[in-house]
Structure 1
């Protein structure tokens, strides 16, 4: 499969160098171990927020480092958890004395390595809280997890908690807020094609030209079922039924709705999906108060999308609307 790379072994390092060159006013990049911090870190007296995960999901997480969102991100190798020394170094680099929140997607390696890093940081005198995001309604256990996977709600939690930290909320308040976001968020994804890691150079899994995978994970893990391709209306109906009935969402609820591309889906198709999601929400009496459409948690060049709904009252909406300035999300600054 064709890729714009030099050699597979250098993909992550060279991508980080490109991010540093493109967004040096917003972030700083460090190597050996690899991590990204906001350009003005550490911010004294502010709770710092750190996240991370395997590379190949860009802009997650490095694209969300900056004012009003993450203080640091730890990029692992492609589809591979970052190591404890990355997380330890990043945490120490951004600690401003008010403690550090780790936002962790529920993948076994991520959870284990963040726990190890948190203990190392606590031994060094840094107060660390961790919240695990597990919002995927598709499957309970997968190749990478014990329990539900962490997916789209991660982005919304990073933005909302980042705003709360800027407002001066303490570590316990920001951590509790993150748990609230996780409890009120639900996601599900589908794939129309597989993806190919740079090292393998071939598709991660086989999917027929007329097939789609329902409930796919962001590493290409199998979902609920494989079936013949359907229309956008039919796909949205299946995904939304699983999402809305899980919380459940009800008439009168307000939500933040994110239609996320998996890396290879044209924006025109994502807007078609949003149109269908909006119609379903309207029919159910659910108000889309805020929206996000685009590539935010990808799986290399996979074609497909995910839907995330976050039940959001006025407090969460105000934090969502607060200023943010990162390589990927920018408003109000």
Structure 2
């Protein structure tokens, strides 16, 4: 089973049309801009994709559109975030029939449940599909985080569970890699804030939002080149966008509000319709965004 996934996988935004439905044209333009920017893969239905505001038919439509548009040019990862074992099994089965390259299982946001229940849930999903699977461990934004011992048990009993979306501060991610004994390929996230440190920690890639995918993809390629001069170039490239990344990563709602707007402007998407309830742009917030992003060029088409 393929497990050579690596690099920058932007987690796509969801765009809506004037009537509140999914905007196909904006979604396709987003994919084309990301691929033209040199990304190494595409990820779907994460927090910035507003999975919590989509019904099951919309989620499947997004998977269909993405796989049709990507057409095998880069790998595609699909997040499974249904709030029950039955829901995760059925969505994973339906999505896998469309043949994405791997799945990301997000723990249902149910507190005070024994960890054993999540181990059983993820194992049941893994047994229903013939795709590589990542577990999402995000102590910053999710209510449920699995221990290293639980993750190792999952990998031992279900070998297709072989990746982690191990998002968090870099020391947490490094400990996660160490405590799971290197059996998982680990992708960090957090918008790409700690890209240079992630390469040093042993991550195989990052899953950020897409508004800076071109810069992050270039920085990643330089950082893993093995050439000291190119690595320093990658660090400088990342340092140039670090104030903007820090601003965007204030919280998920903030990123959705300002990050999606920034991506749309860079990709030539003229209208951004939010799906309410949501945080809406503030005049002062937009002034900060414009100042921090002033040096960015349009994304390639």
Q: TM-score, normalised by structure 2?
A: 0.34
Structure 1 or 2: larger strand share?
A: 1
Structure 1 or 2: larger helix share?
A: 2
